[in-house]
Each structure stands twice: as C-alpha cells, then as structure tokens.
Amino acid sequence: MTRMKLPHTSSGEGAEKAIDLLAHVDLNLLVALHALLVECSVTKAARRLGTTQSALSHTLRRLREQFADSLLVNTTTGMVPTALAASLLEPLQQSLLGVVRTLQVQPDFDPQTSDRSFVLACADYGSVVLLPKLMARLQQQAPHICVNVRPAHEGSGAELVAGKLDLLLGALPPEAPEVVGRRLFEETFVCLVRREHPLVGNSLTLQQYVALPHLLISPMGTGVTWVDPVLEQLGYKRNIAMRVPHYLVAPQVVASTDLILTVAARVARLFIQSLPLREVTPPIAIPGFSVSAFWHPRSSQDPGHRWFREQLFAVGHSVSSEQHSGPQHD
C-alpha cells in the first residue's frame, strides 16, 4: 500500500474525499501507531494496548506499508522513530484527542454555574401565569441562566423544528408532527366585570351575557375565542364592543367600563388582586383547555434542556395544584 494523501480541495469537498479515503483505512492502526511512537518498543506498546507482541509486530508491518516508511528502526539502544514518524506524533495525539472528545458522553449540566440561554415561545397567557413562578424558581437554582421569551405565533412550530426555539408553550400542538410535548395543567374560563357593575350581580343569565358589551383579547385583532362556538350552537351571538391584542390593557378597560371579559380563571384572579374587579361564573358551559410544553426530540437527552424542562414541569405541577376558591365577590 502507498501512503495516504489527502486531497487539496475546498473544505467541504476535501472532507468528503477524506472520508472516502478513511473508509479504506483501519483506524485502529493509528491507535497502535501512537502507542509505538510513545513507547518506542513493540513489547511495551503491546502491553499498553493489551495485545501480544506478535500481533503488534504484524500491525507495525501494516503501518510501514501504509506510510511507505520504516517508522521505527532498531539501534543499539533500542528502537527510534524515523523523521517521518517523529513528525507524526504531535498531530496524531491531537487527532486522537479530538476523537475521544467527540465520543465522550455529554458532561452533566450544573445549574449553579451555567450561563446558558434558553429560548421560550408562549402567548400572553403563559407569560402571565407561568413565567413569574418559573423565573423565581430559576433565580434560586440557576442564578446565571437567561430565558429569552418570544411571542408564540403560527410559525413557532417551524422555529422549534429549525432549532430557533428550545420550548413552546401553548394550548394547541404546533403544526409539526415530529415535536413532542407534555401537558402541564388544565384551565377554565370565568367572567370579569367591574366591582360596581350596575347590571351584573352575583350571577349572569344567558340573556344578560349576550346583551351586554364584551371585551375580547385577540392577539391578531380578529377572530373568535372558545366562547363563540358554544354560543353559536345555542343560537346566540355576543356583542363584542372592543378587541385588544394583549392581556395587560384588558383589565384596565373592564375596571373602567361596563364591558364583560371572559378570560382564563388564573389570569382573572391575578387581575382581581390589583383592580376593582370581580369574578362571575359564565352562564354557559365553556370548554376549558390544556396548557402544554412542546420541544423537538433532538433536545430530549440534552442535560441542560432536560433540567430546564423539569423546572417548567415543576412549575406546571405547582400551578395545577393550586386550590381555587371559586368566584370571588365583595
């Protein structure tokens, strides 16, 4: 055999041709060559590799054919490397170390010292209900971690697949069948009105509900919510007087008007804590929804990603375990 020569081409093309050449080379020869060059003795190198002197002598003959060089020559003081062999030792060591690093099991993730960033996409609901609890937990366990939050949208599933997101929080699975997910908790709906609403007491009739003006939180400024299909089945349509894109402004509007806001129960109870609002049970059975976390399978075994998911799952469990007191009245 003649000595292998790598092609002088562009990096991509060169890598492909190099791989083609390596397919015809026994890479175990390189491990044996390293041991021989370090020990300069077939006997010691064989002992180091856990093989016989005879087997390693045969390997040395193959190496000499491969490189068209003696590599090691006998002298009165023992074997010494040729000039070519001496020049091979350093790059050979670096190459073998690179292979070892590639094959090593991924190191454990240390939340106390890691400064890793995670990219999370969620709608306003997830931001309001989950993020404060999640960040409080992370500050205690991983003070240097950064969480970058992006608004969830129709393209978030594709971003998850492309690796632009670590996690996606939502009520509906993204249009990406390859992603995996886990349900965090269930949510229900309640109605919010201002504390001194002149027409709404401790309960709402269906006739009141459809007659009174409504505020709708709609990120895109159009469309309907979970409520409207239920009303349509009953032959009713509510009076939507205002649409807003964010949760932040909605309670302020309701607290200052006679509008009704039908909203997730956990969000409603946060609003009630700081504004003159009260909760009323809807006059119709509105289906609730699940809040889930979605991620791509390639991240499932990553220690850092797995740890981050576990924190999110713990927060979800905490939210799910909270005892609600039901409609709140003055």
**pLDDT of 57-77, one tens digit each?**
999 999 998 889 999 999 988
- Give the three-state DSSP class for 214: strand
Asked if residue 141 is part of any domain, the answer here is yes
Asked if residue 88 is part of any domain, the answer here is yes
pLDDT of the residue at 224:
61
Alpha carbon distance 64, 37 (integer Å) = 13
Question: What's the whole-model pTM score?
Answer: 0.67
Q: Are residues 72 and 213 in the same domain?
A: no
Q: Are residues 156 and 283 in the same domain?
A: no
Last residue of a domain, one of 76, 103, 130: 103
Q: Are residues 270 and 148 in the same domain?
A: no
Domain span at 46: 11-103
Q: Are residues 133 and 146 in the same domain?
A: yes
**pLDDT of 151-192, one tens digit each?**
998 889 999 999 999 999 988 888 888 899 999 999 999 999
Taking residues 230-248, what's their average pLDDT? 92
Q: Are residues 198 and 279 in the same domain?
A: yes
**pLDDT of 267-293, one tens digit each?**
999 999 999 999 999 999 999 999 999
CATH number of the structural domain spanning residue 126? 3.40.190.10
Beta-sheet pairing, 213-217 with 239-244: parallel
Q: Are residues 137 and 220 in the same domain?
A: no
pLDDT of the residue at 329:
43
Q: Are residues 306 and 176 in the same domain?
A: yes
Residues whose CB falls within 8 Å of the CB of residue 78, separated by 6 or more in sequence, listed in order: 40, 41
Counting runs of H as helices and runs of E as strands, what totals does the chain give?
13, 12
Question: DSSP E strands: which ranges in the chain?
Answer: 72-75, 78-81, 117-122, 146-151, 167-170, 180-187, 189-194, 213-217, 239-244, 260-264, 277-280, 289-295
Q: Is the pLDDT of residue 195 over 90?
A: yes
Q: Are residues 148 and 296 in the same domain?
A: yes
Q: Are residues 277 and 202 in the same domain?
A: yes
Asked if residue 326 is part of any domain, the answer here is no
pLDDT of the residue at 104:
64
For residue 197, which of 280, 137, 116, 141 has the smallest C-alpha distance? Answer: 280
Query: For the chain, how long is the longest CA-to-CA vector?
Result: 110
Last residue of a domain, one of 68, 103, 138: 103
Asked if residue 234 is part of any domain, the answer here is yes
Question: DSSP E strands: which ranges in 94-208?
Answer: 117-122, 146-151, 167-170, 180-187, 189-194
**pLDDT of 138-149, one tens digit each?**
999 999 999 999
Asked if residue 29 is part of any domain, the answer here is yes
Alpha carbon distance 137, 102 (integer Å) = 33
Residue 226: which pLDDT band, with cuts at 50, 70 and 90? Answer: confident
Q: Are residues 172 and 303 in the same domain?
A: yes
Q: Are residues 171 and 227 in the same domain?
A: no
Asked if residue 71 is part of any domain, the answer here is yes
Last residue of a domain, one of 81, 103, 125: 103
Asked if residue 109 is part of any domain, the answer here is no
Dihedral angle at the C-alpha atoms of 117, 119, 123, 128, nearest 10 degrees?
-10
Q: Are residues 17 and 93 in the same domain?
A: yes
CATH number of the structural domain spanning residue 68? 1.10.10.10
**Structural domain count, the chain:** 3
Asked if residue 111 is part of any domain, the answer here is no
